[in-house]
């Protein structure tokens, strides 16, 4: 990509990455405000509904009492009865008797019959409702009259809807769903649009935004009544602005940090080959050794050389840089440095144990190149080691990669070096494939060792791998042995060699020499790990303890 275009692309990417958390914080602020307003709006509706349900219960109870008492309507006995009922019902203003759309008397006294006119609606239960009837001269307020079987209650229409709200412009309406076409029986606010009054399931609710309002509609589970509460949408916007004051700066900060991290990671990634090249040039690689133990004697009989990149800031693990080194064709230069270091270290091991064997990891590119054989010869010349002291380790994928690999492997083995297949079981490894490869050792991958003594589905695989290796007369090294029961399980099933944290983490040459010496001195002594070591990155100095 031309440099100018790259700059523009990275600038746009950085802006987009920075904008994402800001947009997310705005969305979060809106959601938070919406949820709060929705809760408030539902609370208003529920408050009103609770009052109406209480009124309905009192009406039902009053009606039953009136029906049970066999008295002549509006007689002195009836007046006493109406008064008693009215007295015990807090949501009812008065009780009374009706006939032919006329209020004959109320619990407040016998009166001139008052014509109520045609009922405004009749509910599914047969209750006739006369709304906003001016029964006494002002300043008395109009009342709603609910009548059934000649008995009536008089209710203040404002009683149910006079709940305290967040602002003056919250609108409230009470509806009778079975007669919804007749409109609300009590209302605060302007005329509500018809779609707000559309029925919801009995006992259910719905909340939506329409015409600049957040509308909550709930219906009673027991009574033929529903309530609509509508809050102006600007309340959500006001609240959102309030939340945004907190969320947006946090989002902006996250955006800047994210953008910075992404651009740093991109820059690091794009300049990674350059960094690797510099590390190779400056020889910033070193090698640590992980002991390989003979499970029958518990002696350290060899070690695996594991490369480490010591950069200016940190120690970088091979899992991160080896795949990238392979990708950009630099792996052979790293292998060369590892081989040089091993050549320098080997004499120190051989002085302690002439049969000591160091395993060196190789990649596909190493196994395709004849120079690798020359490099191994050079290692012997530099260290005075014999081929039996060196093992070449590679994964099945590396073995099968290049066309010339087989002949190079044959040459390596014919010279007396041993060859091991690494991480066995993790790829598409199979018996058929093992038979075609020219090998001495099979390394069982840690993933299978860790299933030993567990109920995992793959816990039996380790037995099949051992069986395969034995049928092909291969030595077996179990990797990643972390516990004594794992070690004993493997030994009982014929695995002779093991490596893993139970015996020792990767360590520097001085500690490995000390480990070899102590394990030889104590001959059959167990070679066990320090209990304090817990993390993979931890390669402490006092790694080994001996019994």
Binding footprint of ligand C2E on the chain (CB under 6 A): 290, 306-307, 317-319, 322, 335, 338, 361-363, 422-423, 446, 479-480, 482, 500-501, 506, 536
Q: Which does 32 bind (CB under 5 to 8 A by kind): ligand C2E, Ca ion, none?
A: none
Write the interaction track for Ca ion spanning residues 357-386; mark x where CB under 5 A is met and - where it is not.
----x-------------------------
DSSP readout, 346-398?
Answer: HHHHHHH-TT-EEEEE--HHHHT-THHHHHHHHHHHHHT--GGGEEEEEEHHH
CB of 305 to ligand C2E, least distance (A): 6
3-state secondary structure of 214: strand
CB of 442 to Ca ion, least distance (A): 11
Q: Which of 25, 23, 36, 22 is nearest to 235 (CA)?
A: 36
Q: Give the E-state strand segments of 137-177 in sequence order.
A: 143-148, 151-155, 171-175
Cα–Cα distances (Å) from 397 to 242, 370, 520, in that order, read 59, 18, 36
CB proximity list for 266: less than 8 A, separation 6 or greater: 10, 13
The one segment of 278-286, 384-392, 422-430, 531-539 that binds Ca ion by CB under 5 A: 422-430
Q: Contact with Ca ion (CB under 5 A): which of 423, 444, 481, 501?
A: 423
Nearer to Ca ion, 78 or 423 (CB): 423
Q: How many CB atoms lie within 10 A of CB 102?
A: 12
CB of 423 to ligand C2E, least distance (A): 5
Quick check: 422 binds Ca ion (CB under 5 A)?
yes
CB of 351 to ligand C2E, least distance (A): 23
Write the interaction track for Ca ion spanning residues 15-44; mark x where CB under 5 A is met and - where it is not.
------------------------------
DSSP readout, 409-435?
Answer: HHHHHHTT-EEEEEEETSSS--HHHHH
Q: How many CB atoms lie within 10 A of CB 257?
A: 13
Nearer to Ca ion, 207 or 361 (CB): 361
CB of 244 to Ca ion, least distance (A): 53
Q: Which does 322 bind (CB under 5 to 8 A by kind): ligand C2E, Ca ion, none?
A: ligand C2E
228: which strand partners? 173, 217
Both tokens assigned to 165: 């709200």
CB of 221 to ligand C2E, least distance (A): 59
CB of 446 to Ca ion, least distance (A): 7
How far, in Å, CA of 304 to CA of 344, rounded? 15
Q: Which does 506 bind (CB under 5 to 8 A by kind): ligand C2E, Ca ion, none?
A: ligand C2E
The one segment of 58-66, 289-297, 316-324, 417-425 that binds Ca ion by CB under 5 A: 417-425
Q: Which does 425 bind (CB under 5 to 8 A by kind): ligand C2E, Ca ion, none?
A: none
How far, in Å, CA of 50 to CA of 338, rounded? 80
Both tokens assigned to 158: 């404002």
Q: Which does 47 bind (CB under 5 to 8 A by kind): Ca ion, ligand C2E, none?
A: none
At which residue do the structure tokens 């800031």 appear? 313
- 290 phi and psi, to 5 degrees? -105, 125
Angle value at C-alpha 403, between 398 and 409, nearest 5 degrees:
60
Nearer to ligand C2E, 226 or 293 (CB): 293
- 305 phi and psi, to 5 degrees? -85, 125
Beta strands 441-444 and 418-424: pairing type? parallel
Beta strands 285-294 and 315-316: pairing type? unpaired
Quick check: 391 binds Ca ion (CB under 5 A)?
no
CB of 236 to Ca ion, least distance (A): 58
Q: Which does 99 bind (CB under 5 to 8 A by kind): ligand C2E, Ca ion, none?
A: none
244: which strand partners? none
Q: Which does 319 bind (CB under 5 to 8 A by kind): ligand C2E, Ca ion, none?
A: ligand C2E
486 touches 454 (CB < 8 A): no
How far, in Å, CA of 249 to CA of 237, rounded? 18
How far, in Å, CA of 220 to CA of 204, rounded? 8
Nearer to Ca ion, 41 or 486 (CB): 486
CB of 445 to ligand C2E, least distance (A): 7
Nearer to ligand C2E, 55 or 335 (CB): 335
Nearer to ligand C2E, 123 or 383 (CB): 383
CB of 356 to Ca ion, least distance (A): 17
Which sign, positive or negative, has the C-alpha torsion 24, 30, 33, 37? negative
Quick check: 393 binds Ca ion (CB under 5 A)?
yes
Q: Which does 306 bind (CB under 5 to 8 A by kind): ligand C2E, Ca ion, none?
A: ligand C2E
Total site size for Ca ion, rule CB under 5 A: 5
Nearer to ligand C2E, 96 or 504 (CB): 504
Quick check: 86 binds Ca ion (CB under 5 A)?
no
Nearer to ligand C2E, 213 or 321 (CB): 321
Residues numbered 455-494 forming contacts with Ca ion, rule: CB under 5 A: 479
How far, in Å, CA of 48 to CA of 173, rounded? 9
Binding site for Ca ion (CB under 5 A): 361, 393, 422-423, 479
């Amino acid at each position: 990509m031309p440099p100018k275009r790259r700059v523009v692309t990275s600038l746009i990417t950085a802006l987009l990455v920075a904008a994402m958390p800001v947009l997310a914080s705005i969305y979060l602020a809106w959601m938070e405000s919406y949820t709060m307003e929705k809760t408030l709006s539902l609370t208003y509706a529920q408050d009103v509904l609770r009052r109406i349900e209480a009124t309905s219960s009192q009406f039902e109870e009053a009606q039953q009492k009136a029906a049970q008492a066999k008295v002549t309507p509006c007689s002195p006995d009836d007046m006493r009865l109406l008064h008693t009922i009215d007295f015990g019902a807090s949501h009812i203003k008065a009780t009374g008797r009706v006939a032919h759309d006329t209020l004959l008397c109320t619990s407040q006294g016998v009166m001139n019959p008052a014509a109520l006119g045609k009922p405004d609606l009749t509910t599914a239960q047969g209750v006739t409702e006369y709304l906003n009837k001016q029964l006494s001269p002002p300043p008395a307020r109009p009342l709603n009259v609910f009548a059934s079987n000649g008995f009536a209650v008089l209710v203040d229409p404002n009683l149910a809807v006079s709940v305290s709200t967040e602002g003056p412009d919250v609108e409230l309406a009470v509806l009778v769903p079975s007669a919804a076409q007749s409109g609300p029986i009590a209302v605060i606010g302007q005329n509500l649009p018809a779609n707000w009054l559309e029925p919801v399931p009995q006992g259910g609710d719905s909340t939506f935004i329409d015409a600049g309002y957040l509308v909550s509609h709930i219906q009673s589970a027991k009574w033929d009544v529903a309530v609509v509460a509508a809050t102006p949408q600007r309340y959500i916007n006001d609240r959102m602005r309030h939340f945004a004051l907190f969320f947006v700066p946090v989002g902006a900060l996250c955006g800047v940090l994210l953008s910075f991290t992404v651009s740093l990671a991109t820059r690091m990634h794009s300049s990674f080959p350059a960094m690797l090249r510099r590390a190779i040039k400056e020889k910033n690689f070193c090698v640590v050794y992980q002991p390989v133990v003979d499970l029958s004697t518990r002696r350290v009989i060899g070690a695996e050389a594991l490369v480490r990149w010591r950069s200016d800031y940190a120690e970088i693990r091979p899992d991160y840089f080896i795949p990238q080194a392979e990708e950009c064709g630099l792996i052979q230069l790293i292998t060369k440095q590892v081989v040089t270091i091993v050549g320098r270290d080997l004499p120190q091991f051989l002085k302690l144990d002439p049969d000591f064997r160091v395993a060196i990891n190789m990649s596909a590119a190493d196994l395709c190149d004849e120079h690798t054989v020359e490099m191994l010869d050079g290692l012997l010349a530099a260290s005075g080691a014999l081929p039996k002291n060196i093992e070449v380790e590679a994964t099945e994928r590396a073995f099968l990669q290049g066309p010339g690999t087989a002949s190079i492997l044959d040459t390596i083995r014919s010279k007396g070096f041993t060859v091991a297949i690494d991480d066995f079981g993790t790829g598409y490894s199979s018996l058929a494939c093992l038979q075609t490869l020219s090998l001495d050792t099979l390394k069982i991958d840690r993933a299978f060792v860790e299933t030993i003594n567990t109920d995992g589905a793959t816990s039996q695989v380790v037995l099949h791998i051992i069986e395969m290796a034995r049928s092909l007369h291969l030595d077996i090294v179990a990797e990643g042995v972390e516990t004594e029961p794992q070690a004993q399980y493997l030994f009982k099933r014929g695995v002779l060699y093991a490596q893993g944290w139970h015996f020792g983490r990767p360590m520097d040459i001085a500690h490995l020499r000390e480990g070899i010496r102590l394990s030889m001195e104590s001959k059959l002594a167990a070679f066990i790990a320090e209990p304090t070591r817990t993390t993979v990155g931890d390669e402490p100095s006092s790694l080994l303890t001996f019994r």
